[in-house]
Amino acid sequence: MSRSVNPIYEASAAGTFLPSLTSSMDLEWDRLLQWLSEKGMEVCKDKLPVERWKSIGGCGLFALRPFSPSEVLFRVPATAMMNIRTLSPLYPSKKLDAVQMVSLHLVMHRQNPSMDPHFGPYISVLPRDFAFHPLTWMAEENTQILSSVPPSAMRALDKMLQRFRSDFGKVSQQTKGISGTDYLWAWLNVNTRCIYQRLKARQSDPDNFTMCPVLDFANHSAHLPHMSPRPSNADKLDVLPRQRFGEDMVFISPADKHLGVDEEIFLKYGAHSNRTLFVEYGFVLPISSEALVCGEVDGEVDVFDFMDSLLTNKGNRLQELLDRENYWGRVYLSFLQDAN
């Protein structure tokens, strides 16, 4: 989007002007920045030279000035992030893991705008609807749409639905009056927008994640240059963070290119196949056969449907071994870009 175009309006096919990036969204952004400033974040243009604008599929994060490779984009204070450390003091009697606790806090403050005194302005800019997400189709038993989903994706969705139901069951036991629909909204916000952050003693602890304002406007790209978080001191030393709420997060511009003014800044969610992106995030990336042949993207095909009978014919011992090592049901053919 060019800065010479008013971002609040765009021309319709009929030539009239219709709301695009509405004034209410601008007010939400301004409210978010004011709240971040109160949390100790520097939000002037020099310190936060990025902004949320309309992009393909919704909103994206765009550069307001040129950036050199590996330059600091912005810093988000630990107190402004939603995670197990910042929320535990608000729920001292709850025996919940990080996903359950963050989801609980979101569902308790879902109203729009959120009046939560701790994270209200951040919650107010989160997605309000997940009708596009396949887990919503599963929860609503939308068989018409689900009939078109490949078997491997359906297996992954079924496991995801079991995780959701388990989390909802534990939360609803400790907090009465929460609807499954509202909790699904909160749970999907956590699942689609969290990012790794070292908060626990073990690097592999599943509670090592956070929801981070500003960052989560960035869209995913598998192959375009993307920004990345600077490794924390806790990760460098492989220790428990000393700070009460963990460390601030600092985000760095792409290491392999310059960013221009008005250029969209991407974030790579991980080296995921389209199946994983579809199941976890509710979208897929268009991939041409030419891009695959040229090695421009990573590829993955789930072949368990074809291998199931072959493996089963080998007897139960092989299946038991694969199941014990958590490989049963996970047979893929993968090809990756040449590291050279």
User: Cα separation of 279 and 138, whole Å?
Assistant: 11
Q: Please list, in sequence order, all residues whose beta carbon lies within 8 angstroms of the beta carbon of residue 177, skipping any fewer than 6 positions away.
A: none
Query: Is 4 contained in some domain?
Result: no
Q: Is residue 94 part of a domain?
A: yes
Q: What's the pLDDT band for 277 if we cut at 50, 70, 90?
A: confident
Q: Are residues 197 and 333 in the same domain?
A: no
Query: What does the pLDDT average to over 212-220?
Result: 92
Using alpha carbons, list the distances in angstroms from residue 73 to 183, 212, 325.
Answer: 33, 14, 41
For 48-89, how does the pLDDT look when each residue is reduced to its tens digit (9 = 90+)? 999 988 887 678 999 999 999 999 999 999 999 999 999 999
Same structural domain for residues 174 and 275?
yes
CATH number for the domain harbouring residue 87: 3.90.1410.10
Buried b (16+ CB within 10 A) or exposed e, 49-74: bbbbbbbeeebbbbbeeebeeeeebb
Calculate the average pLDDT of the chain.
85
| Sign of torsion over alpha carbons 144, 150, 153, 158 | positive
pTM to 2 decimal places: 0.81
- Regarding whether 247 and 130 lie in a shared domain, the answer is yes
52 near 127, Cβ under 8 Å? Answer: no
Same domain, 298 and 206: no
224-257 confidence digits (pLDDT tens)? 778 999 999 999 999 999 999 999 999 999 998 9
Looking at the fold, whether 62 and 206 belong to one and the same domain comes out as: yes
Of residues 21 and 124, the one with the higher pLDDT is 124
Q: Flag whether 72 is in a domain.
A: yes
Backbone phi, psi, residue 125, to 5°: -100, 0
- Provide the residue range defining the domain that includes 334: 290-340
Cis peptide before 134 (omega within 30 of 0): no
Distance of CA 169 to the CA centre of its chain: 23
The helix/strand count (H/E) of the chain reads as: 13, 12
Find, among 107, 78, 75, the residue nearest to 215 by Cα.
Answer: 75
Over residues 130-174, the pLDDT tens digits come to 999 999 999 999 999 999 998 889 999 999 999 999 999 999 999
pLDDT at 160: 95
Q: Do residues 229 and 330 both lie within one domain? A: no
pLDDT confidence of 13, banded at 50, 70, 90? very low
pLDDT (0 to 100) of residue 307? 67
Distance CA 336, CA 340 (A): 11
For residue 247, being part of any structural domain is answered with yes
Cα–Cα distance, 320 to 315 (Å, whole number): 9
One domain, residues 314 and 193:
no
At residue 10, the pLDDT reads: 31
Query: Is residue 52 within 8 Å of residue 229, measured between CB atoms?
Result: no
For residue 223, the 8-state DSSP code is S
Instruction: Tell me if 107 sits within 8 A of 182, measured CB to CB.
Output: yes
Residue 158: CA count within 13 A, CB half-sphere:
9
Under the banding of pLDDT at 50, 70 and 90, the label for residue 312 is low
For residues 301 and 279, membership in a common domain is answered with no
Whether residues 335 and 250 fall in one domain: no
Q: Above pLDDT 70, what percent of the chain?
A: 78
Query: Are 154 and 267 in a shared domain?
Result: yes
CA-based end-to-end distance of the chain: 34
Indicate the number of domains in the chain. 2
Residues 147 and 279 in one domain: yes
Q: Looking up tokens 């072949």, which residue turns up?
A: 303
Do 230 and 328 sit in the same domain of this protein? no
Tell me how far apart the alpha carbons of residues 72 and 265 are, in angstroms, rounded to a whole number: 13
Q: Does residue 15 fall inside a structural domain?
A: yes
